[in-house]
Amino acid sequence: MSLQKQTPMRQQPPQARIHNFDEVPLGYSENEAIVEAERCLQCPTAPCVEGCPVNVDIPRFIEHVKNSRFAEAIAAIKDTNSLPAVCGRVCPQETQCQGVCTLGRRFDPVAIGKLERFCADWESEHTAPKASVPEKNGQRVAVIGAGPAGLTAAGDLRKRGYDVVVFELLHVAGGVLMYGIPEFRLPKQIVQREISALKEMGVEIHVNKVVGQIYSVDDLLGSGYDAVFIGTGAGLPRFLGVPGENLNGVYSANEFLTRTNLMRAFRFPEYDTPIRIGKRVITVGGGNVAMDSARTALRLGAEESIIVYRRSAEELPAREEEVEHAREEGIDFQLLTNPLRFLEKDGAVAGAECIRMELGEPDESGRRRPVPIEGSEFVIDVDTVVIAIGNGPHPLVPRTTKGLDLNRRGNIVADSETGSTSKEGVFAGGDIVTGAATVIEAMGAGKRAAAAIDRYLQSKEKRTE
Amino acid sequence: MYKILGKRTLGPQIREYVIEAPEVARVAKPGQFVVIRLHEQGERIPLTVVDTDRESGGVTIVVQEVGKSTREMGDHFESGDTILDFAGPLGVASEIENYGTVICVGGGLGIAPLYPIARALKEAGNTVIGIVGARSEDLLFYIDRMDAVCDELIVMTDDGSAGRKGFVSEPLREILSSGRKIGRVWAIGPAIMMKVSAQVTREFNIPTVVSLNSVMIDGTGMCGGCRVEIGDEAKFACVDGPEFDGHRVNFDLLMSRQRFYHDEEACALDRYLKSEGKKE
């Protein structure tokens, strides 16, 4: 064991992995996990727990790993986190638990995310005793949207004794975990395994349900549901608003990733949904979704995959590991660059006219504002463009719910601690409230809302007694 | 799983299905659509709602077998079988009001989604003039149903095998030229037919509604694949439409985007037909 350095996780070499959709990091062995767990100082202040949006008892689970008590370790995680196999893979640990790790002040922080993933994977390969779930208490809660926020709220409410029904618009549960995050970063089988665990706890999940059309939130409240949680996410893709953006070959990241992940277009024609990929692909944006898109393009057969981002490397909002993996795979980063228009040939996109940028004074986000450098325009020849600059709130439920306050961007206004909205009995959390953020932040919101719904329903019951 | 309550052939490679989906049947309105998926490997197919029956919980859709998935549906999905997914209703319903006299123009498969709109317009007190057309007589369907809800019905075929010979835009122009006061026109069918119809009505300044069938994945506002240009704005056919002001639609862009997957669609169909032993 080295106190200085994290135990590395084996991963597929870049040259091999750019030709397949298999997961990149391969996981820890039991021994590697124990070695890494031994690095934890078990410091009394445990800042990592505070750093975790769902407050996993990190020192406790790591202590169990260190002592080879893997079943106890996963149980400790699952006390507060319903989706550990997901979080171990996609959380931005460097800005959360690992960012505040005491060991990390001098050396590499403990690889908390990798250990969490190890525990979750260990559980799937062993039969751990099932956590006991309380009998249903007769009160029903409807959850709209089976993404990270909704699934977390559903799991926590079920653990608190409520009868929970989740309504999902798409044909599978999982939300962004299924349609957005690629297979090579989060295998879909793992997502479905976590969802099966929720179903085993008694959470009902109904797919293909267009809430807002087949029933409104008011219909749900009037038909036996005592409270409603809205976690419908940020599903509406944003575009740049530049000329040529509607040409063939220009995709939103949502379309590009949904075709590939949810509809499995990488296995066309075995699967019916196609995707068309050119030799040279540019992805506009610098977040995780942009990294996912650029790396997906390579795996779909692009010869060159280029990230175009208007700020510098320092401002890239993606997780460190994603940027690192993208660089290893040969993604070209055109930083401080912004597209001005897309050029057409034979009805499809053939070029991106871009301009170089420099950083000026800080803007309202605190980051230095990118300013175009006059006269620096140039053209990148491209066959495919992916726009990955974020998503607005999914409009269906907010548009059809009376008495629900929205902000000017169309997000639901909800208390950040409780998720309560302007409408009694209706709570909301995740990207539909905050705008596009991370999986774990949405899960944190789902968790806090579940606690608040519990308090609300208990006090309501007292009032009616 | 959603049960097929009924299946009927309306023409060569045109079939009508009634799918059991009571929650959708209860609320779906003319102009809206559903998304279906046949099986685990299937694609999501958007289809406009033709009719609903609250008692049986049935939702009627009409499918033209132009690609692999729709061929497969025609070949292998019978009454009593189930399809894996059925979600809806999606999109904004038609604005049904009393406009006085309206013209409902349907081309090819567009007759199917047009029928419930014409019926609703009739029920709202409009005088409804129907113009329906197809390449030839065998591709015409729902003539009886349209006849029952239209005050006048004009049938057109490209080859003259039924009704008048010519395109639907011809009688449309004649009626507008005659000076009859028309409150609104609905034109639903292939993009080119809607484009030409909208060109005719623009000359007479008659508000015209078209229903755009752009390529969609989720159909719920998430992918943006269905985006269309309406005036200077990009709109999503799935959540902002599918109906739009026909005078402001960029039809050339729509047609270009509809063709983007042409090669892949041909490849999938070819592979399917070979596997079915229908093609060497």
pLDDT of residue A264: 94
Q: Convert A219-288 into a string of H (helix), E (strand) and C (coil).
A: HHHCCCCCEEEECCCCCEECCCCCCCCCCECEEEHHHHHHHHHHCCHHHCCCCCCCCCCCCEEEEECCCH
Interface test with B, best of A210, A240, A245 (most B CBs within 10 A): A210
B234 touches chain A (CB under 8 A): yes
DSSP assignment, residue A140? E
Query: Is the model's pLDDT at A11 over the cut of 60?
Result: yes
B273 touches chain A (CB under 8 A): no
CB pair distance less than 8 Å for B234 and A246: yes
Question: Tens digit of pLDDT per residue, chain B (280 long)?
Answer: 999 999 999 999 999 999 999 999 999 999 999 999 999 999 999 999 999 999 999 999 999 999 999 999 999 999 999 999 999 999 999 999 999 999 999 999 999 999 999 999 999 999 999 999 999 999 999 999 999 999 999 999 999 999 999 999 999 999 999 999 999 999 999 999 999 999 999 999 999 999 999 999 999 999 999 999 999 899 999 999 999 999 999 999 999 999 999 999 999 999 999 998 876 5
B184 touches chain A (CB under 8 A): no
* Continuous segment of H or E residues that includes residue A167: strand A163-167
The strand ranges marked E within A285-416 are 304-308, 332-334, 337-345, 348-362, 368-372, 378-381, 384-387, 391-392
Query: Is the model's pLDDT at A305 over the cut of 60?
Result: yes
The residue length of chain A stands at: 465
Calculate the alpha carbon distances from A193 to A233, A259, A457 in Å.
22, 22, 30
With 0-12 / 13-18 / 19 or more C-beta atoms within 10 angstroms meaning exposed / middle / buried, residue A108 is: middle
Nearest beta carbon to residue B43 from set A237, A251, A272: A272
Neighbour tally for B266: CB within 10 Å: 12
CA of B90 vs chain A CAs: smallest distance (Å): 7
pLDDT of residue A368: 86
B80 touches chain A (CB under 8 A): no
Contacts of B259 in chain A (CB under 8 A): 248, 347
Residue type, B236: F
pLDDT of residue A364: 82
B24 touches chain A (CB under 8 A): yes
Each residue of A237-291: pLDDT tens digit? 999 999 999 999 999 999 999 999 999 999 999 999 999 999 999 999 999 999 9
Contacts of A179 in chain B (CB under 8 A): 218, 222
Best CA proximity match to B245, nearest among B95, B97, B116, B98: B95
Contacts of B261 in chain A (CB under 8 A): 274, 276
Best CA proximity match to A171, nearest among B191, B218, B97, B180: B218
Q: Tell me how many residue pairs between chain A and chain B have CB atoms under 8 A apart.
A: 120
A272 touches chain B (CB under 8 A): yes
Neighbour tally for A125: CB within 10 Å: 8
B163: left (phi over 0), alpha (psi -120 to 50) or beta: left
- State how far the Cα of A232 lies from the Cα of A397, in Å rounded to an integer: 8
- State how far the Cα of B154 lies from the Cα of B171, in Å rounded to an integer: 8
pLDDT of residue B224: 92
- State how far the Cα of B269 lies from the Cα of B266, in Å rounded to an integer: 5
What are the backbone dihedrals phi and psi of residue A207, each rounded to the nearest 5 degrees, phi first? -90, 170
pLDDT of residue A128: 60
CB pair distance less than 8 Å for A239 and B271: no
- State how far the Cα of A347 lies from the Cα of A303, in Å rounded to an integer: 22
Nearest beta carbon to residue A254 from set B85, B222, B264: B222
Nearest beta carbon to residue B43 from set A248, A255, A263: A263
- State how far the Cα of A7 lies from the Cα of A28, in Å rounded to an integer: 9
pLDDT of residue A74: 94
A104 touches chain B (CB under 8 A): no
Q: Which chain A residue shows the shortest CA-CA distance from B68?
A: A272
Nearest beta carbon to residue A252 from set B44, B224, B267: B224
In which residue are the tokens 């991106």 written? A352
With 0-12 / 13-18 / 19 or more C-beta atoms within 10 angstroms meaning exposed / middle / buried, residue A99 is: middle
Neighbour tally for B41: CB within 10 Å: 17
Contacts of A208 in chain B (CB under 8 A): 85-87
Each residue of A82-123: pLDDT tens digit? 889 999 998 889 889 999 999 999 999 999 999 999 999 999
Contacts of residue A275, defined as CB under 8 A and 6 or more positions apart, other chains included, come to: A256, A259, A260, A265, A266, A268, A300
Q: Which chain B residue shows the shortest CA-CA distance from A235?
A: B222
* Continuous segment of H or E residues that includes residue A291: helix A288-299
Q: Convert chain B into a string of H (helix), E (strand) and C (coil).
A: CEEEEEEEEEECCEEEEEEECHHHHHHCCCCCEEEEECCCCCCCEEEECCEEECCCCEEEEEEECCCHHHHHHHHHCCCCCEECEEEEEECCCCCCCCCCEEEEEEEHHHHHHHHHHHHHHHHCCCEEEEEEEECCHHHCCCHHHHHHHCCEEEEEECCCCCCEECCCHHHHHHHHHCCCCCCEEEEECCHHHHHHHHHHHHHCCCCEEEECCCCCCCCCCCCCCCEEEECCEEEECCCCCCEEECCCECHHHHHHHHCCCHHHHHHHHHHHHHHCCCCC
pLDDT of residue A131: 67
- State how far the Cα of A446 lies from the Cα of A166, in Å rounded to an integer: 13
- State how far the Cα of A58 lies from the Cα of A99, in Å rounded to an integer: 13
Nearest beta carbon to residue A270 from set B41, B86, B220: B41
- State how far the Cα of B62 lies from the Cα of B106, in Å rounded to an integer: 14
Partners of A341 in the β-ladder: A353
Residue type, A74: I
Helix (H, G, I), strand (E, B) or coil at A74: helix
Record the pTM.
0.93
Q: Which chain B residue shows the shortest CA-CA distance from A388?
A: B223
- State how far the Cα of A3 lies from the Cα of A6, in Å rounded to an integer: 8
Identify whether the C-beta of residue B15 lies closer than 8 Å to the C-beta of residue B62.
yes
Window B:101-160, CB contacts with A under 8 Å: none
Contacts of B223 in chain A (CB under 8 A): 237, 252, 254-255, 258-259
CA of B211 vs chain A CAs: smallest distance (Å): 19
Query: Is the model's pLDDT at A57 over the cut of 70?
Result: yes
Identify whether the C-beta of residue A225 lies closer than 8 Å to the C-beta of residue A140.
yes
Radius of gyration of chain B, Cα coordinates, nearest whole angstrom: 18
* pLDDT class of A181 with cuts at 50, 70, 90: very high
Calculate the alpha carbon distances from A113 to A70, A183, A386 in Å.
15, 18, 29
Degrees to nearest 5, angle at CA B163 with B159 and B165: 35
* pLDDT class of A129 with cuts at 50, 70, 90: low
Contacts of residue B35, defined as CB under 8 A and 6 or more positions apart, other chains included, come to: B44, B45, B46, B47, B85, B86, B87, B88, B90, B216, B218, B219, B220
